[in-house]
Amino acid sequence: MSQIHPTAIVDDGVEIGSDCTIHAYAILRRGTVLGERVTVHPFAVVGGDPQDLHFDPATESGVRIGSGTTIREHVTVSRSTKAGTSTTIGENCFLMAACHVAHDCVLGNNVILANAVLLAGHVHVGDNCFIGGAAGIHQFARVGEGAIVSGGARIAQDIPPYAMAAERNEVIGFNLIGLKRRGVAREAVRELKEAFRVVYFTSGNIREIATKALGGETFRTPEARRFLEFFVSGKRGFARARREGHADEDGRGI
């Protein structure tokens, strides 16, 4: 049974799964759907209108929050801009205080947004990502599965899976520790490291290099192929690797 504080505001048409907790002064707007065991802390606003000057408030859209997700104080999650669609946050995510998730964003499962992270419209964040405090992600940018973005980073280009990014669109390393913690097989890690080298340290167009690598026989594991496939699509271009001091998360060179 869910618990809803008497001072929370829950609009008509909101769907709340079992065992949710809606704290005092939290606001859930129409079109919001919560899975099971979702917690919404005070002064968070879920499902508010997009901050889009051209948006028609009569549009029937919403927000979907996956089971087990926690939304802390003053977080805002805007509903999507297109009728019949939803801004989506996956399962077991943790959105720390004062984050903003704009309209039409899609977050995977097990995503952590530290305090005051700002996601502009249409941002996609893959499973198992961590985005550090006060980082800002430009509209339509993608953050690939298992990536880490450092606090205060300014990201306007796509960050590939399993990478570490910082500053202004800089890929500064490879998230080896994150892969180990999730039990990724050694062969997959070996192929990922090689795929990283091929893409970032071969002269030429990144998209073409990744496409060529996919067509060969070198990369067979699903993880390596997902890494390479990431470069086949996207609208923002790709963050570039820092050429000096490039290392794994544990400090060893790639």
Please tell me which residue in 66, 90, 121, 136 is annotated as part of the active site. 121
Please tell me which residue in 100, 103, 122, 124 is annotated as part of the active site. 103
- CA 230 and chain centroid, separation: 14
* Spatial separation of the C-alpha atoms in residues 92 and 114, rounded to whole Å: 14
The residue count for the chain:
254
* Spatial separation of the C-alpha atoms in residues 92 and 70, rounded to whole Å: 7
CA atoms within 13 A on the CB side of 68: 9
Single out the residue of 147, 108, 136 nearest to residue 124, CA to CA: 108
CA atoms within 13 A on the CB side of 9: 10
Tell me phi and psi for residue 21, to 5 degrees: -130, 120
> Would you tell me how many other CB atoms lie within 10 Å of the CB of residue 14?
19
Report yes or no: 194 and 221 within 8 Å, Cβ to Cβ. Answer: no
Please tell me which residue in 35, 68, 90, 104 is annotated as part of the active site. 104
Catalytic residue status for 121: yes
Rg of the chain, C-alpha, whole Å:
19
Single out the residue of 212, 214, 207, 197 nearest to residue 234, CA to CA: 207
Catalytic residues: 103-104, 121
